[in-house]
Structure 1
Amino acid sequence: MSDRALSFGARAEAYERFRPGYSMELFDRVMAYAGRPVRTALEIGAGTGKATRLFAQQGLSVLATEPDGAMLNELRRHVPATVRTAQAAFEDLQPGEKYGLVYAAAALHWTNPEGRWPRMAALLEPGGVFASFGGPIRLADQAVEEAVRAARAPFLESDEVPSPDGTPPDNDMQWPGTELQRSEWFTDVQQSLIERRLMMSARDYVGHLSTISAYLVLPALEQEQVFRQIMRVLPETVELVADVTVHLARRRYGR
């Protein structure tokens, strides 16, 4: 697992404070796709439990797994007592209990691509649902975006995680849908978008940036400098495009 994948624990409280949660629209979309009652769910890379809450509060029995102990401790402070937790990376999970739903919220790109889909299928009931959802948060105002990019440039070329399989950003089907379509273990791959706009103070937006792995792996002095530079070019309040891309797939029967 990369340094970026394990960089979040030091900022667990900030992650909880500044990262947005997920809406009932997402839950409804996943359940409509399932087309049958879903009672058990396994979450991969649960972070501080933003998505855990959504599914657990609707009555699902959730096992939330997270490799970073500090993130998991923060999660336990915020989720219902019914949620089971385990400190484990996806690659550490052993086949055994099978779930009606396995999902990852802005976390799947940190998993090892080797054997990813057979391992995922082994955790799902036949006909069970896999869901992955998330997406970058961008400044809505292009001029402000350009100013932030220029402020960041001496320290960081980009703060985004590139597509794990190199899919171009203008492709109709984005990763992980591209991999799921090629996998013999899954069928009925769907991609959809939940549009979302947020307003944040400049200070909270920089707080959000402080939870992004590209900044977290910078030396502490450079982190301070880049955030100071970005604060200088931001208006008092910023509008953000925070659309959630949802990928859904069904574990094949008979495999």
Structure 2
Amino acid sequence: MDEDEHLLHASSFGAAAVAYAEHRPDYAQAAVRWALETAPGPRVLDLGAGTGKLTATLVALGADVIAVEPDPAMLTELRRSLPAVRALPGSAEAIPLPDASVDAVLAGNAMHWFDMAVAGPEIARVLAPSGILAGLWNLMDDRVEWVAGLARVSGSAAIGPRDTPAGWRAETADMHLPKTGVAARFGSPEQAEFPHGQRRTADSLVATIATRAGMLVMPEQEQKATLGRIRAFLASSAETARGEFTLPMLTGVLRVRRL
């Protein structure tokens, strides 16, 4: 993906903020606990917070949360749903917080949008010594046969390599960490995966997939055709054809400590 296409994908979510809030899954609490277990304190920045999916889990776990989000529509939805949380406009490349002001920086399905050459020094700046940087991604568990079939039918714009466990492990091994020049400020990365699931119907799963960046920027006719193939697949699969079902998922976590 070239830089212009990357920026187009990264800025595509605002128009779908309400649908994003309704249909995107939360994060496995065990994954969030693991991300934070070695943090030196309770102050957590949810960076690229979107509509507050990860923010809400952090609040439920008792963290002292600040949310930062660049998209005005997403930020409005976050403030509506979580009015008690301090929520600020800003980005990973320009974080509106003082030096050493948080004990952990978490990013839910967002770190792949960061320009880590710029964001890395910013994250290091706001982290306290021994603070934690962690990215979390919700993954479809394509080890389950019908989920693998859905991935094949959907195409990479709807379910990309990063959305399945093997692809996520490969892509996050070195891609989303602070780049050369700031890497010396961080320790060795750790990866872990935690079971998760989301109750869906065929219609709501189609709506969830429609909030993915690749779908949001797709030409209308192509988008309709892709969503039509997905609906037909779900209607023909015994696991998904009738009523509610659990979408098998994992929450993957990439964790690194500030030195």
Shorter-chain TM-score tier:
0.7 to 0.9
TM-score, normalised by the number of residues in structure 1: 0.81
Match of 2:216 in 1: 216
Aligned to 2:232: 232
Aligned-partner Cα distance in 2 for 1:46–1:67? 9
Q: Aligned pair in 2 of structure 1 residues 44, 96: CA closer, same or farther (>3 Å)?
A: same
Who is 1:2 aligned against? 7
Cα distance 1:88–1:244, how it changes in 2: closer, same or farther (>3 A)? same
Q: 1:134 to 1:159 in 2, by over 3 A?
A: same
Deviation at 1:95, TM superposition (A): 6.2
TM-score (norm 2): 0.80
Answer yes or no: is the 8 Å Cα contact 1:9–1:68 preserved in 2: yes
Shift in Å at residue 205 of structure 1? 0.8
The 2-side partners of 1:173 and 1:219 are apart by 27
Q: Which segments of 5 or more consecutive residues in structure 2 lack a partner in the other structure? A: 1-5
Whichever structure has more helix as a proportion of its residues is 2
Contact 2:139 2:252 (8 Å CA) reproduced:
no
Partner of 2:73 in structure 1?
A: 70
Shift of 1:63: 1.7
Check conservation: 2:111, 2:176, Cα contact below 8 A. no
- The C-alpha deviation readout for 1:149-173, integer Å capped at 9, x for no partner, is 34x4xxx55434556xxxx849679
Matched residue, 1:159 = 158
Is the alpha carbon distance of 1:176 and 1:116 closer, same or farther for their aligned partners in structure 2, counting shifts above 3 Å?
farther
The match for 1:179 is 177
Residues 1-255 of structure 1: pairs in structure 2 closer than 5 A = 2-34=7-39, 36=40, 38-81=41-84, 83-93=85-95, 96-97=98-99, 98-138=101-141, 141-142=144-145, 145-146=148-149, 149-150=152-153, 152=154, 157-161=156-160, 169=167, 174-175=172-173, 179=177, 183-234=183-234, 235=237, 236=241, 239-252=246-259
Q: Secondary structure at the match of 2:87?
A: strand
| Other structure's SS at 2:247 match | strand
The SS at the match of 1:204 is helix
Q: What residue identity is the alignment partner of 2:158? A: D
* Secondary structure in 2 matching 1:221: helix
Cα deviation, residue 147, structure 1: 6.0
- C-alpha contact (below 8 Å) 1:177/1:247 kept by paired residues: no
- Corresponding residue SS for 2:218: coil
Determine if contact 1:176/1:247 at 8 Å carries over to the other structure: no
- CA change 1:93–1:145 in 2 (3 A) is same
Work out the number of aligned pairs and report it.
241
> CA separation in 1, counterparts of 2:37 and 2:97?
27
With over 3 angstroms needed to count, the CA separation of the structure-2 counterparts of 1:160 and 1:120, relative to structure 1, is farther
1:110, CA displacement in angstroms? 0.3
Q: Report the CA distance shift for 1:206/1:173 in structure 2 as closer, same or farther (over 3 A).
A: closer
Deviations 1:54-110 (A, max 9, x none): 2223333322111111111111121151x1111222112256242111110110000
Distance 1:9 1:171 in 2: 28
Q: For the aligned residues, what is the CA RMSD?
A: 2.8
| Worse overlay, 242-251 or 53-62 | 53-62
- 1:59 aligned counterpart, secondary structure: coil
SS in 1 for 2:7: coil
In structure 1, runs of 5+ residues without a counterpart are none
